[in-house]
Amino acid sequence: MTITRRALLAAPALLPLAAKAQSGWPERPVRIIVPFPPGQAADIFTRLVADQLSQRWPQRVVVDNRSGGAGAPGLEAGARAAPDGYTLTAGTSGTLSVNPSVLQRLPYDAEHDFAFISNLTMVPLLMIAHPSFPGQTIQEVAALARARPGEINIASAGPATSQHLAIELLQLRTGLRFNIVHYRGSGPGISDLVAGNVPLMMDSVASALPQIQGGRARALAVAQPRRLPQMPDLPTIAETVSPGYEAAGWTGLVAPAATPPDIIRKISTDVRAILNDRAMQDRMLSMGGVADPSTPEEFGTFVRNEIAKWREVAQAANVRLGG
């Protein structure tokens, strides 16, 4: 009885301290680990949001770039960080949804090592062609590929990238066969397309849009189900040759799994307010991205669905990376 009474007496004294500790967050700068070098899409869009959070919060939000190893070292650092809300991680389509199926020794569990906060942006993909390529539409490209299976070259940004997996998904869903030519990133691939050395490429809107606008490449179809605001007349793959087809790059925010739920909710609420601002949406659109705010529950469901989808594709196409 004495122990119970002491516990009851002590509890009210402890509760204000706990509440004060949570309500005072953040009391020091917050770090966001970006698992890629400065200048890549994940870095650019994360910095946009980090700058806005720095204006909303009493402490700065700093970006910590940790590149290499298909993003795995950066995600591992984020998963192993103290679960106090002061270390967040920019999780991407590659690091969270593709790596679990293509890396044999992944140093983190994408589904269980993180608390999901919100997606930040979708980076739509699209198929483009050199202006001299005879296929003027995605339907004509499909007809040419059926007539010459495995003969038409198509560039990707590298093995197991979102661009590569988008091509594999298209082949899996349609039975089309291309000869996939891998490059070390979008830049070298689109340079070869512009030079006429490769006729087709699956690339991000952010990378391809300047080439399309300059007449050096021709857009054929969008890989996401909705048409692009920047090119409303451009059809989607889903409405032309593969119903239900959907592939995109994306970047979202996660935290270590044991981070307090109220901190996760606060970050998610503030991030969603930033992404729902029209000025931010317009800025992301101008850079080839689409603001994609989501609740922690929505983002968690989205990531798990993406893992399942790309696992099917990776197994069917036998896509593997070393490491």
Question: pLDDT by residue (tens digit) across 248-266?
Answer: 999 999 999 999 999 999 9
**Statement: residue 12 has pLDDT above 60:** no
What pLDDT shows up at residue 15? 41
Return the percent helix, strand and coil in the chain, to nearest 5. Answer: 45, 20, 35
Residue 17 has pLDDT above 50, yes or no: no
Tokens of 185: 């990133």
pLDDT more than 70, % of the chain: 93
Q: How far apart are CA 295 and CA 252, in angstroms?
A: 11
What is the value of pTM for the model shown? Answer: 0.86
Compare 221 and 23 and report the one with higher pLDDT.
Answer: 221
Q: Has residue 166 got a pLDDT over 60?
A: yes
- The answer to whether 306 touches 93, Cβ cutoff 8 Å, is yes
- Taking the C-alpha atoms of residue 275 and residue 118, their distance in angstroms, rounded to an integer, is 10
Q: How confident is the model at residue 6 (pLDDT cuts 50, 70, 90)?
A: very low
For residue 54, is pLDDT > 90?
yes
The yes-or-no verdict on residue 239 having pLDDT over 80 is yes
SS (H, E, C) 237-252: CCCCCCCCCCCEEEEE
Average pLDDT over residues 167-174: 97
pLDDT for the residue numbered 14? 43
- Paired strand residues for 116: 254
At 18 the pLDDT is: 38
Name 221's Cβ contacts closer than 8 Å, sequence gap at least 6: 126, 127, 137, 138, 234, 235, 236, 237, 240, 241
Q: What is the pLDDT of residue 216?
A: 97
Give pLDDT tens digits for 258-294: 999 999 999 999 999 999 999 999 999 988 899 999 9
pLDDT exceeds 80 at position 5: no
- The torsion defined by the Cα of 270, 273, 274 and 279, in degrees rounded to 10, comes to -170
Residue 20 clears pLDDT 90, i.e. is over it: no
Q: Which domains does the chain have, with CATH numbers?
A: 29-122+249-317 (3.40.190.150), 124-222 (3.40.190.10)
The dihedral of CA 219, 223, 229, 230: what is its sign? negative
Report DSSP state, residue 70: G
Q: Is the pLDDT of residue 143 over 90?
A: yes
Residue length of the chain? 323
User: What does the pLDDT average to over 144-169?
Assistant: 95
Tens-digit pLDDT profile for residues 307-316: 999 999 999 9
Measure the CA–CA gap between 74 and 160, rounded to whole angstroms. Answer: 17
Confidence of residue 23 (pLDDT cuts 50, 70, 90): low
Taking all residues of the chain, what is their mean pLDDT, rounded to a whole number? Answer: 91
pLDDT digits (tens, 9 = 90+) for 71-109: 999 999 999 999 999 999 999 999 999 999 999 899 999
Strands 200-204 and 114-129: antiparallel
Instruction: Say if residue 7's pLDDT is above 50.
Output: no
Question: Is 10 a residue whose pLDDT tops 60?
Answer: no
